[in-house]
Amino acid sequence: MQQVTIVGLGLIGASLGLALKQLKNPPRVVGHDLQYDAATRASKLKAVDKVERYLPDAVVGSDLVIVATPVGAIPDLFARMAESLSEGCVVTDTGSTKREILLKAQELLPSRVAFVGGHPMTGRQTSGVDAPKASLFQNSVYCLVPSPTAPTDAVDTMVKLVQQIGASAYFVDAAEHDGLVAGVSHLPYLLSTALVRSLAAGPGWREMSAVAAGGFEIATRLAGHDPKMFADILATNGDNVVMQLDRLVEQLECFRNELVAERPDLFKELEQGQKHRLEWEAQRRRAAEKL
């Protein structure tokens, strides 16, 4: 790859730029972001070689175009860059939902380019501002969702990129992807927000917020994330999130009944929950060691 364009220079976009610039033979990286601050920060960090404020000029001549903006902005960007994309260019994104994006890519991108959707399973760990870093993708899973028309070498390009930044490629189709992340990513965010909303609207919030400590801090951390980004995500994955939400509410009703009846089954359920969580931790550690 001679030249890569990154559209959207937030945490993910700027971190991808830094990771690319650390490769042995780094490509030229062109960045584009309508937010002056994000573009300036990426320049200063040397995550991009050049900032180009006019989108068509930013993508011209690039072998790879990475769209790393909130999901809701992606279709419009596809439309606006379409005419300027070079023959054989690979286009990818980092959006948190994939069905809508794949459809829009087929509809809006020209047939001379290949679309391979992507979703790095990483991101903000704090509720504050995380600084971009080249190591963000180390030991993480990177979902790849190739368009049905994408040729093998375009897919290979993405697999190689994923490996080079230290991540592990995970192939999945768009429908399955959206089902999986509804459970492990979108529902947790909604839950965290529901918890804050429910407590803050209830009696005793003033006193509760005074005594709230570690458990509350963890349980509501996701609620501190960008609501605009999540509104986009939920708007393109509502059906899956509702399905997961219904299952969760059923589980909560089950806990409720056990609490009211003071049934010892509750302890077994708590024990099972701990077991699943600890197993997941162990599995994650093993996967990271293998990489």
Q: Which of residues 202-241 bind its own copies (CB under 8 A)?
A: 202, 204, 207-216, 218-228, 230-231, 234-235, 238, 241
| Residue whose CB is less far from its own copies, 156 or 253 | 253
Assign 3-state DSSP to the chain and report helix, strand, coil percentages, each to 5: 55, 15, 30
| Residue whose CB is less far from its own copies, 159 or 199 | 199
| Residue whose CB is less far from its own copies, 55 or 180 | 180
| Residue whose CB is less far from its own copies, 57 or 271 | 271
| Residue whose CB is less far from its own copies, 3 or 122 | 122
Burial class (CB in 10 A: 0-12, 13-18, 19+), 36: exposed
Measured at the CA of 242, the angle between CA 238 and CA 245, to 5 degrees, comes to: 135
Q: Does 75 bind its own copies (CB under 8 A)?
A: no
Binding track, positions 237-276, relative to its own copies; x by CB under 8 A:
-x--xx-xxxxxxxxxx-xx--xx-x---xx-xxxxxx-x
Least separation, in Å, of the C-beta of 47 and its own copies? 21
- Write out the binding residues for its own copies, residues 95-124 only, by CB under 8 A: 121-124
- Write out the binding residues for its own copies, residues 152-211 only, by CB under 8 A: 170, 172, 176, 179-181, 183-185, 187-202, 204, 207-211
Q: Does 135 bind its own copies (CB under 8 A)?
A: no
Report whether 65 contacts 91 (CB < 8 A).
yes
The Cα–Cα gap between 238 and 132 comes to 30
Q: Nearest CA to 27 among 81, 65, 54? A: 65
Q: Does 281 bind its own copies (CB under 8 A)?
A: yes
- Write out the binding residues for its own copies, residues 9-28 only, by CB under 8 A: none
Which helix (DSSP H) or strand (DSSP E) does residue 33 occupy? none
| Residue whose CB is less far from its own copies, 23 or 259 | 259
Least separation, in Å, of the C-beta of 174 and its own copies? 14
Report whether 118 contacts 143 (CB < 8 A).
yes
Among 50, 149, 283, 291, binds its own copies (CB under 8 A): 283
| Residue whose CB is less far from its own copies, 24 or 286 | 286
Location of structure tokens 């003071």: 262
Least separation, in Å, of the C-beta of 157 and its own copies? 22
Which helix (DSSP H) or strand (DSSP E) does residue 98 occupy? none
Report whether 109 contacts 91 (CB < 8 A).
yes
Q: Tell me the site size for its own copies, rule CB under 8 A.
A: 94
What DSSP designation does 26 have? P
The Cα–Cα gap between 170 and 98 comes to 14
Least separation, in Å, of the C-beta of 2 and its own copies? 32
Those residues with Cβ within 8 angstroms of residue 124's Cβ, 6 or more apart along the chain or in another chain: 11, 130, 225
| Residue whose CB is less far from its own copies, 39 or 182 | 182
Q: Does 88 bind its own copies (CB under 8 A)?
A: no
Q: Does 148 bind its own copies (CB under 8 A)?
A: no
Dihedral, CA atoms, 18, 19, 24, 25, nearest 10 degrees? -70
The Cα–Cα gap between 236 and 162 comes to 25
